[in-house]
Amino acid sequence: MQAGSVDRVEVGTVHDRRGVIALAVVAVLLVAAVVWIATDDGPASGEVPLAAVATYTTKLDCHSGSVVPDNGEQVVPFDREHADSVLGPGGELTLTLQGLANRSVVLHDATVRVERRSGATPGMFLTSGCDGAVDPRYFAVDLDRPQPVLVAQPGSATFPFRVNDVEPEQFVITPGITEGYVEWRLVIRWSSGADTGELVVGDGDRPFRTTALSAVTRMMCVNRDKTARGPC
């Protein structure tokens, strides 16, 4: 990579694992999966000095949850990774960034890139349940704004941060939305010595997806037997 060049990296998410792992990622009730990092075409001699793992899921706070198609069922098996589910407001994106090969990398800022807006997703709302701990939130983002901005929560540090291969940083981001549906990615601007670039984080090969609850047809609560029954 030449000095001053920009290299874009697409990073997928990991689902359903809790705790700090090899890349020091914390997930909220997630299962292990493989993280992939793919670079766009760029200088053949360059390398991206960052590794990243992201998770995007609900919290067990009795309020957050997902919107799924409403087929009229009275009892719905609860699947946190339902293929057609879209997270409502209050879900959490947890992102961990770590430097590679003993290189120190400065993380200058993080921005939200909105890729599409539309009406709120119709369907029934499955709450996440209440029988678990709530993970702390460090950043929030208002997706109703034309250009959403990450806002550090009280008591949380803000950019810039510095990472390397033994000192990662972890970011917990809570998106808020009151109307419509938004597809978005997170863009991390970094530098390492004379090299600069951007890390683009999404949900695998697609953007993160968040919907308001204005088109919800029913509210369904998740029970301890992991089925959703309504009304709440």
Residue 159 CA, chain-centre distance (Å), reads: 18
- pTM, to two decimals: 0.57
Structural domains counted in the chain: 1
Residue 114 corresponds to which tokens in the numbers above? 């909105």
Among 164, 215, 170, 222, residue whose Cα is nearest residue 193: 164
Q: Is the pLDDT of residue 189 over 50?
A: yes
Distance of alpha carbon 3 from alpha carbon 29, whole angstroms:
41
Residue 215 CA, chain-centre distance (Å), reads: 23
Does some domain include residue 162? Answer: yes
> Is the N-terminal amide bond of 231 cis, ω within 30° of 0?
yes
Does some domain include residue 114? Answer: yes
Host H or E run for residue 2: none
Please write the tens of the pLDDT for every residue from 24-33.
Answer: 333 332 222 3
Please write the tens of the pLDDT for every residue from 6-65.
Answer: 445 454 544 433 333 333 333 332 222 323 333 333 333 467 788 888 888 777 677 788
Mean pLDDT of the chain: 74
Per-residue confidence (pLDDT) for residue 63, from 0 to 100? 76
Q: Is the pLDDT of residue 73 over 70?
A: yes
Please write the tens of the pLDDT for every residue from 201-214.
Answer: 998 889 999 999 99
Distance of alpha carbon 177 from alpha carbon 200, whole angstroms:
21
Domain range for 117 is 8-229
Distance of alpha carbon 82 from alpha carbon 104, whole angstroms:
38
Does some domain include residue 33? Answer: yes
Per-residue confidence (pLDDT) for residue 60, from 0 to 100? 67
Does some domain include residue 205? Answer: yes
pLDDT-derived band at 102 (thresholds 50, 70, 90) equals confident
pLDDT, mean of residues 210-230: 77
Q: Bigger pLDDT: 99 or 60?
A: 99
DSSP 115-162: EEEESPPPEEEEE--SSSPPPP--EEEETTSSS--EEEPTT---S-EE
Residue 80 corresponds to which tokens in the numbers above? 């946190």
Does some domain include residue 1? Answer: no
Q: Is the pLDDT of residue 147 over 90?
A: yes
